[in-house]
Amino acid sequence: MTAAILLTGASVLVAACTTSISGVARPEATPHTGSPPATAAPPPGAAPGSGSTPAELLLPVDRFPEPYSAVVLPPQAVAQAAPDLTGIPPGARVNPGGCLPPPQDYGPGGTAMAVGTDTGGRATLSVEVTTPAEPLADYRRHLVECARVEATHRGVTATVTTALEPDPPVLVPGSETLALSRTITSGEGPDALAQSILTHTAQLGDVRVLVTYMSFESGAADAENVDRVYADAVRYALEARPR
């Protein structure tokens, strides 16, 4: 895969987007004398059982650490950026054949995403909230079964290699966690390109929070800031939410 082709999806993460997604305010309930108080309907796109949209569960961008300048991606950008972190774009053919990423709703009712960019280090740090998510045990099984995948899209093939890492800490009672590292390689010679990814995931019920570091540079991931943002994002999204 040429650098230009693989960078198409990743550029969504690195681009200086300025549009942000706002949470939908819930109307106040109006009590009536002699009858039970009215109950406000959940906002459009609310996460099932939570009464909140994915955007409302998303870590505010002003809580990203330096040097990551963060923005909330608009829905059309989420639909490009989130699949990019799997290494397998929509419409790709994969080998083994059963290793397409699990289905996901990339619309505002299913996914919200904020991305912090370190332009000096050619790296991004992203927070993604998705619901409804499959059980985390099913996702773990998928990762084990699809540890190495060849993905072909528009005639170009990339190799996606994924390994499970030690689970990150459980910060919210009742939640489950998972960590993975991933490399995405393609091309040869001057066209060779490699992405390195580290993701920490927490899930409570069907609400999943993913914190991902992605870099085009060789070297270790920014584990310190991954841990910091993971702790903040997970507590923000999952604490005090309905179990």
pLDDT digits (tens, 9 = 90+) for 174-191: 999 999 999 999 877 788
Please indicate, yes or no, if residue 81 is contained in any of the structural domains: yes
Identify any residues that bridge with 3 across adjacent strands, giving them in sequence order.
none
The mean-pLDDT minimum among 35-44, 95-104, 200-209 falls in 35-44
Burial of 183: CB neighbours in 10 Å, binned 0-12, 13-18, 19+: middle
Separation between Cα atoms, residue 199 and residue 180, nearest integer Å: 5
Residues of 47-78 as b/e, b for ≥16 C-beta within 10 angstroms? beebebbbbbbbbebeebeeebebbbbebebb
One-letter amino acid identity for 6? Answer: L
pLDDT band at 241 (very low <50, low <70, confident <90, very high): low
Phi (first) and psi of residue 27, to 5 degrees = -70, 155
Separation between Cα atoms, residue 180 and residue 212, nearest integer Å: 9
Tokens of 218: 């060789």
- How many other CB atoms sit within 10 Å of the CB of residue 138? 11
pLDDT cut 70: percent of the chain above it: 77
Q: Can you give the pLDDT at residue 84? A: 93
> Per the structure, how many domains does the chain have?
1
Please indicate, yes or no, if residue 77 is contained in any of the structural domains: yes
Domain ranges, residue 85? 3-15+47-238
Please indicate, yes or no, if residue 23 is contained in any of the structural domains: no
Please indicate, yes or no, if residue 22 is contained in any of the structural domains: no
Please indicate, yes or no, if residue 162 is contained in any of the structural domains: yes
The average pLDDT across 81-86 equals: 95
pLDDT cut 90: percent of the chain above it: 68
Separation between Cα atoms, residue 165 and residue 200, nearest integer Å: 9
Please indicate, yes or no, if residue 121 is contained in any of the structural domains: yes
Please indicate, yes or no, if residue 36 is contained in any of the structural domains: no
Please indicate, yes or no, if residue 192 is contained in any of the structural domains: yes
The average pLDDT across 13-33 equals: 36
Separation between Cα atoms, residue 144 and residue 84, nearest integer Å: 20
CATH of the domain at 190: 3.40.1000
Strand stretches in 96-171, DSSP E: 111-118, 123-130, 148-153, 156-165
Q: Can you give the pLDDT at residue 190? A: 81
One-letter amino acid identity for 92? Answer: A
CA angle 61, 62, 68 (to 5 degrees): 70
- pTM beyond 0.85, yes or no: no
